[in-house]
Amino acid sequence: MKKISIQEKMRPNGCFGCGQDNPYGLQIESHWEGDEVVCQWTPKEYMIGPPNYLYGGISASLIDCHSVNTALSYAHKKVGNDDKYDRSIQMVTGSMNLRYIKPVPMREVELRATVEKVEGRKYFIKTELQSDGITCVRGDVVAIQLKAAQ
């Protein structure tokens, strides 16, 4: 039986990075593996930057969306809601710092994210984008939980 991704629980969703309903987006699918959220993703040919390497902005988008989805899923777990997406819990990117270590080859990559800490509505996420087990890009993302609409 296929495990349902974090993003599948969020449908309908038109987000560029994680929206399963956006035919032009990245359509990442993330899953919990222990204390990490993991995603395997393969770039499309048109996402190339320098010859044979992924465009850096796509790497940034992958880390952004995977990190925010990690925070969102973690927030759901905290309230005991692991099975479905509660639209009253929303997250946005507060900040994102990236370190490009190596060029990302144009083949399948893996994203691995962990929740480092939570301070109020701020979720501090560390994410690595890897190719063949080698870290190519590191990201520190602060996801901010929006206040529920009154």
Going residue by residue through the chain, which has 150 residues, state the pLDDT in tens, using 9 for 90 and above.
678 899 998 889 999 998 999 999 999 999 999 999 999 999 999 999 999 999 999 999 999 999 999 999 999 998 887 777 888 899 999 999 999 999 999 999 999 999 999 999 999 999 999 999 999 999 999 999 998 754
Q: Which spans in the chain are helix H? A: 56-78
What per-residue confidence (pLDDT) applies to 43? 97
What per-residue confidence (pLDDT) applies to 150? 44
pTM to 2 decimal places: 0.94
The tokens describing 57, both together, are: 């902005």
Q: Which domains does the chain have, with CATH numbers?
A: 8-145 (3.10.129.10)
φ, ψ dihedrals at 48, nearest 5°: -70, 150
CA atoms within 13 A on the CB side of 88: 5
Query: Would you call 33 exposed, middle or buried from its count of C-beta atoms within 10 A (0-12, 13-18, 19+)?
Result: exposed
Strands of the sheet containing 30-33, edge to edge, are 30-33, 36-41, 109-119, 122-131, 134-145, 91-100
Centroid of chain to Cα 98: 14
